[in-house]
Amino acid sequence: MYSAFIYYICMTKIYNFDEIIDRRGTGALKTDVLKQRYGRDDLMAMWVADMDFRCGDFIVDALKHRLEHGIFGYPSTPESFCSSVIDWVKRRHDWEVQKEWLSYVPGIVKGIAFCVMHFTSPNDKIIIQTPVYHPFRIVPEMHGRTVVRNSLIEENGSYRMDLEGLKRLIDSDTKALILCNPHNPAGITWNESTLRELAHICAERGIIVISDEIHADMALFGRRHIPFATVSEEAAQNSITFMAPSKTFNIAGIVSSYAIIPNPEIRRGYYHFLKASELNEASIFAYVATEAAYTHGDEWLRQMLKYLEENILFVDSYLKKNIPQIKAIIPEASFLVWLDCRELLLEQPELVSLFVDGAHLALNNGETFGTEGRGFMRLNVGCPRKVLEIALEKLKTAIKDR
| Residue that is last in its domain, among 296, 313, 343 | 296
Q: Sign of the C-alpha dihedral, residues 182, 107, 210, 169?
A: positive
Q: Are residues 107 and 229 in the same domain?
A: yes
| 159 plus 291 within the same structural domain | yes
Instruction: Tell me, yes or no, whether 364 and 389 share the same domain.
Output: yes
For residue 67, is it within any domain? Answer: no
Would you state the pLDDT for residue 7? 56
224 inside domain? yes
pTM greater than 0.85 (yes/no): yes
Q: What is the pLDDT of residues 57-83, one digit of tens each?
A: 999 999 999 999 999 999 999 999 999
DSSP per-residue string spanning 170-182: --TTEEEEEEESS
Say yes or no: 103 and 223 in one domain.
yes
Domain boundary among 240, 275, 296: 296
Residue 49 per-residue DSSP state = S
End-of-domain residue from the set 296, 317, 344? 296
For residue 50, the Cα-to-chain-centroid distance in whole angstroms is 9
Q: Which percentage of the chain shows pLDDT scores above 70? A: 97
Output the furthest CA–CA distance in the chain (Å, rounded). 61
What's the confidence (pLDDT) of residue 402?
85
- Specify the pLDDT at position 11: 61
Average pLDDT rounded to a whole number, residues 383-393:
98
192 and 274 belong to one structural domain: yes
Q: What is the mean pLDDT of the chain?
A: 96
pLDDT given for residue 305 in this prediction: 98
pLDDT class for 3, splitting at 50, 70, 90?
low
Q: Does residue 223 share a domain with residue 107?
A: yes
Read off the CATH number of the domain in which 317 is found.
3.90.1150.10
Q: Return the percentage of the chain with pLDDT > 90, whole number.
A: 97
Looking at the structure, do residues 176 and 216 belong to the same domain, yes or no? yes
| C-alpha to C-alpha distance for 147 and 171, rounded to whole angstroms | 13
Mean per-residue pLDDT, 240-251 = 98
Same domain, 89 and 18: no
Helix H, strand E, coil C: the string for 269-298 is HHHHHHHHCCCCCCCHHHHHHHHHHHHHCH
Inform me whether the pLDDT recorded for 165 exceeds 80.
yes
* 308 and 259 within one domain: no
Residue 25 lies in a domain: yes
Q: Does 203 score more than 90 pLDDT?
A: yes
**Domain around 26:** 2-56+298-401
